[in-house]
């Protein structure tokens, strides 16, 4: 047998750390490839509530009414008319409400609300919205005791919204919440972004934000809020019931059938930043977990 | 003639690498740079596969042996871009953290095509 020289043996210390070593090797190579100026960006990625840059929030959107590419909404929504805009609240209510977006703006004071937004596709942002709790508006309509669910119906206008000419989803876009979810103080009716009027590509003039659910649950450009007795079918449920459930709470333990939801990429955090672990209820568990006590969240995804 | 032509084609084949390096350097990759880099190399891998597979039919159609001289080089570029594509996915996106990769590749079939293409 050939004798192995002592110098050829990997020291135990290095042997134990061999995987770490490979990791670092990879990182070094990629950082060498990439150069210096990204190292600065890389630090800003951790789990803080540092708002994402406005240029990303306003140019990287999923808004299929204007097209399926991320850049379509900003490119094709600039001439979209948001005035006049009326919202109807009807269905199981004592007091049907017909109100314009301007009246809503005057009636309810918007406050800054900085929330994480987790897209079902696996990326996230932190967004400083302006808005108020939806419950304030719903209270005006006085839901009756048959109102178990709330359905949100977005605008249908294929002339102004080129994406609606294609049957990608069932138009108009529909979303829904259970009444207790809709009345939760975190559920926000959004009127603005970064202290200004809401840009068209982000769902002007009025959109919903439900921060503990995947982004698609938060309907944009809402024209009708219906209180209903039976669980409504949302556009995404109709399009792919296996992939998109009614609840769609952010949940790292329940994978999308086509990809894992365990981690997410933070938009604008730079090329060398790591994916961060996705949090249960997007980090709002303290506030909302009690809405789902006793529910099997794997079954009701 | 071919002596000068081959290095010329070689440099042209490096074009996709050059453009992405410039984009990275000037930070022009937008909101999801890692995804964009990954897709960039994935797309160019497919383009080079097609180019490589075009050489033999071109030889037959045009009756020129000339084309065949580029086939191996283009094939190696397929390998080159496929390797960077894979490295971006494993290294840059998942930091050589194998568990989620194995999980995604084995349990979901979305990446199956990529790996199958890599295998052939």
- Res. A39 pLDDT band, cuts 50 70 90: very low
Task: Flag if A255 and B30 touch (Cβ within 8 Å).
Answer: no
Task: Flag if B95 and A255 touch (Cβ within 8 Å).
Answer: no
B25 touches chain A (CB under 8 A): yes
- Res. A38 pLDDT band, cuts 50 70 90: very low
When pLDDT is averaged across residues B1-9 and rounded to a whole number, the result is 84
Q: Taking CB atoms and an 8 Å cutoff, what residues of chain B touch A29?
A: 91
For B36-86, give the DSSP string. Answer: HHHHHHHHHHHHHHHHHHHHHHHHHHHT-GGGGGGHHHHHHHHHHHHHHHH
Tell me how close the Cα of A238 comes to any Cα of chain B, in angstroms.
22
Task: Flag if A70 and B31 touch (Cβ within 8 Å).
Answer: yes
- Res. A23 pLDDT band, cuts 50 70 90: low
Task: Flag if A23 and B95 touch (Cβ within 8 Å).
Answer: yes
Q: Which B residues 71-110 touch A at CB under 8 Å?
A: 87, 90-96, 100, 103-104, 107-108, 110
* Structural domain containing residue B68: 33-119
Asked if A38 contacts A270 with a C-beta cutoff of 8 angstroms, the reply is yes
A219-265 confidence digits (pLDDT tens): 999 999 999 999 999 999 999 998 999 999 999 999 888 888 999 99
List the domain boundaries for chain A: 51-292
Torsion region of A207: left, alpha or beta (phi above 0 gives left; psi -120 to 50 gives alpha): beta
pLDDT value at B21 more than 50: yes
Q: Taking CB atoms and an 8 Å cutoff, what residues of chain A touch B34?
A: 265, 271
- Res. A45 pLDDT band, cuts 50 70 90: very low
Q: Does the predicted interface ipTM exceed a cut of 0.95?
A: no
Average pLDDT over chain A, rounded to whole? 87
Q: What is the distance, to the nearest Å, from the Cα of residue B43 to the centroid of all Cα atoms in its chain?
A: 7
Which 8-state DSSP code applies to residue B31? S
For residue B79, is it within any domain?
A: yes
pLDDT value at A24 more than 70: no
When pLDDT is averaged across residues A202-226 and rounded to a whole number, the result is 95
pLDDT value at A43 more than 90: no
Q: Taking CB atoms and an 8 Å cutoff, what residues of chain B touch A33?
A: 21
Distances (CA, A) of B12 to A34, A145, A253, A278, B1: 21, 70, 46, 42, 17
Give residues with Cβ within 8 angstroms of B58, minimum separation 6: B64, B67
**pLDDT of amino acid B95:** 83
Classify B100 as helix, strand or coil.
helix
pLDDT value at A269 more than 50: yes
B34-65 confidence digits (pLDDT tens): 999 999 999 999 999 999 999 999 999 998 88
When pLDDT is averaged across residues A207-218 and rounded to a whole number, the result is 96
- Res. A191 pLDDT band, cuts 50 70 90: very high
**pLDDT of amino acid A35:** 44
Tell me how close the Cα of A26 comes to any Cα of chain B, in angstroms.
6
Asked if A230 contacts A149 with a C-beta cutoff of 8 angstroms, the reply is yes
**pLDDT of amino acid A157:** 94
Tell me how close the Cα of B94 comes to any Cα of chain A, in angstroms.
7
B63-120 confidence digits (pLDDT tens): 888 888 899 999 999 999 999 999 998 888 888 888 888 877 777 666 666 666 666 5
Interface test mutation site (partner B, options A52, A252, A256, A259, max chain B beta carbons within 10 A): A259
Chains A and B: how many Cβ contacts under 8 Å? 65
Give me the CATH code for the A51-292 domain, please: 3.90.420.10
**pLDDT of amino acid A178:** 95
- Res. A46 pLDDT band, cuts 50 70 90: very low
Task: Flag if B24 and A271 touch (Cβ within 8 Å).
Answer: yes
Give residues with Cβ within 8 angstroms of A186, minimum separation 6: A115, A133, A210, A211, A212, A284, A287, A288
For residue B3, is it within any domain?
A: no
Tell me how close the Cα of B32 comes to any Cα of chain A, in angstroms.
6
Q: How many domains does chain B have?
A: 1
For residue B67, is it within any domain?
A: yes
Give residues with Cβ within 8 angstroms of B52, minimum separation 6: B71, B74, B75, B77, B78
**pLDDT of amino acid A37:** 43
Degrees to nearest 5, angle at CA A191 with A132 and A201: 140
pLDDT value at A290 more than 50: yes
Percent of chain B whose predicted confidence (pLDDT) is above 90: 53
- Res. B27 pLDDT band, cuts 50 70 90: confident
When pLDDT is averaged across residues A97-103 and rounded to a whole number, the result is 94
When pLDDT is averaged across residues A262-274 and rounded to a whole number, the result is 87
Asked if the peptide bond before residue A172 counts as cis, ω within 30 degrees of 0, the response is yes
Classify B108 as helix, strand or coil.
coil
**pLDDT of amino acid B51:** 94
- Res. B28 pLDDT band, cuts 50 70 90: confident
B24 touches chain A (CB under 8 A): yes
């Amino acid at each position: 047998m050939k004798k192995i020289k002592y110098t050829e043996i990997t020291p135990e210390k290095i042997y134990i750390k061999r995987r770490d070593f490979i990791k670092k090797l990879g990182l070094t190579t990629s950082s060498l490839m990439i150069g210096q100026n990204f190292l600065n960006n890389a630090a800003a990625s951790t789990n803080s509530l540092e708002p994402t840059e406005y240029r990303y929030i306003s140019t990287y959107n999923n808004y299929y009414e204007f097209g399926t590419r991320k850049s379509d909404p900003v490119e094709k929504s600039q001439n979209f008319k948001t005035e006049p805009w009326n919202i109807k609240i009807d269905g199981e209510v004592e007091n049907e409400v017909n109100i314009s977006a301007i009246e809503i703006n005057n009636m309810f004071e918007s406050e800054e609300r900085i929330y994480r937004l987790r897209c079902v596709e696996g990326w996230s942002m932190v967004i400083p919205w302006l808005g108020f709790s939806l419950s304030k508006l719903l209270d005006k309509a006085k839901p009756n005791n048959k109102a178990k669910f709330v359905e949100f119906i977005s605008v249908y206008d294929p002339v102004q919204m080129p994406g609606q000419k294609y049957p990608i989803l069932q138009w108009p876009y529909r979303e829904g919440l259970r009444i207790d979810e809709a009345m939760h103080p975190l559920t926000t009716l959004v009127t603005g972004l970064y202290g200004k009027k809401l840009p068209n590509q982000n769902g002007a003039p009025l959109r919903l934000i439900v921060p503990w659910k995947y982004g698609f649950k938060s309907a944009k450009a809402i024209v009708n809020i219906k209180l209903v007795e039976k669980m409504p079918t949302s556009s995404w449920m109709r399009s792919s019931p296996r992939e998109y459930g009614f609840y769609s709470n952010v949940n790292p333990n329940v994978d999308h059938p086509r990809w894992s939801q365990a981690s997410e990429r933070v938009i604008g955090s730079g090329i060398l930043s790591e994916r961060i672990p996705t949090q249960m209820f997007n980090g709002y568990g303290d506030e909302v977990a009690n809405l789902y006590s006793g529910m099997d969240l794997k079954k009701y995804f | 003639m071919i002596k000068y032509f081959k290095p010329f084609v070689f440099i042209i084949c490096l074009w996709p690498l050059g453009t992405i390096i410039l984009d990275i350097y000037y930070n022009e990759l937008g909101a999801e740079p890692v995804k964009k880099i990954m897709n960039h190399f994935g797309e160019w891998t497919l383009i080079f596969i097609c180019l490589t597979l075009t050489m033999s039919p071109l030889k037959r159609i045009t009756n020129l042996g000339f084309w065949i001289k580029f086939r191996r080089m283009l094939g190696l570029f397929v390998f080159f871009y496929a390797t960077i594509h894979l490295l971006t996915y494993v290294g840059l996106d998942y930091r050589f953290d194998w568990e989620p990769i194995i999980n995604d590749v084995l349990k979901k079939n979305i990446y199956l095509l990529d790996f199958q293409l890599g295998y052939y």
